[in-house]
Amino acid sequence: AQKITQTQPGMFVQEKEAVTLDCTYDTSDPSYGLFWYKQPSSGEMIFLIYQGSYDQQNATEGRYSLNFQKARKSANLVISASQLGDSAMYFCAMREGYNTNAGKSTFGDGTTLTVKP
């Protein structure tokens, strides 16, 4: 079974509007971290936001917020006030089992976001 599922291959949003990118995950480890990365066409993977499994509050970083619903195992990324520069591929990722999975993040298939002017 896939550990990270991103069901939206592509999304469109109008400039200045908000958009939600979906991510569900699967793990039996009580301690894990969830991440969102942005990958522009240049290829570099840019870290956006982190949510720890024990964090009580949803993470926020500027225009990015993470809607963390632990019971549903979902970690959706919300981008507010979209900008043209937000057009990119977005990946949801998870790190778990730190002792047995050193240095390994598991990634979803990504969502391509296109911001329309």
Partner 1 sequence: KAGVTQTPRYLIKTRGQQVTLSCSPISGHRSVSWYQQTPGQGLQFLFEYFSETQRNKGNFPGRFSGRQFSNSRSEMNVSTLELGDSALYLCASSYPTGARGRLSKATTDTQYFGPGTRLTVL
Q: Which of 23, 24, 35, 92 binds partner 1 (CB under 8 A)?
A: 35
Q: Which residues contact 40 (CB under 8 A, 6 or more apart)?
A: 46, 87, 88, 89
Stretch that binds partner 1, among 12-20, 47-55, 68-76, 78-86 (CB under 8 A): 47-55
Cα 89 to Cα 116: distance, rounded to the nearest angstrom: 15
Q: Which residues make beta-bridge pairs with 117?
A: none
Q: What are phi and psi of 76, to 5 degrees?
A: -80, 140
Stretch that binds partner 1, among 18-26, 65-73, 79-87, 106-114 (CB under 8 A): 106-114
Q: Which of 19, 25, 91, 111 binds partner 1 (CB under 8 A)?
A: 91
Residue 88 has which token pair?
A: 């990119």
Q: Which residues make beta-bridge pairs with 116?
A: 14
Cα 75 to Cα 95: distance, rounded to the nearest angstrom: 13
Stretch that binds partner 1, among 8-16, 17-25, 44-52, 66-74 (CB under 8 A): 44-52
Q: Which of 16, 70, 72, 104 binds partner 1 (CB under 8 A)?
A: 104
Nearer to partner 1, 64 or 107 (CB): 107
Residues at the contact surface with partner 1, assessed by CB under 8 A: 33, 35, 37, 42-47, 50, 52, 59, 91, 95, 98-99, 101-110
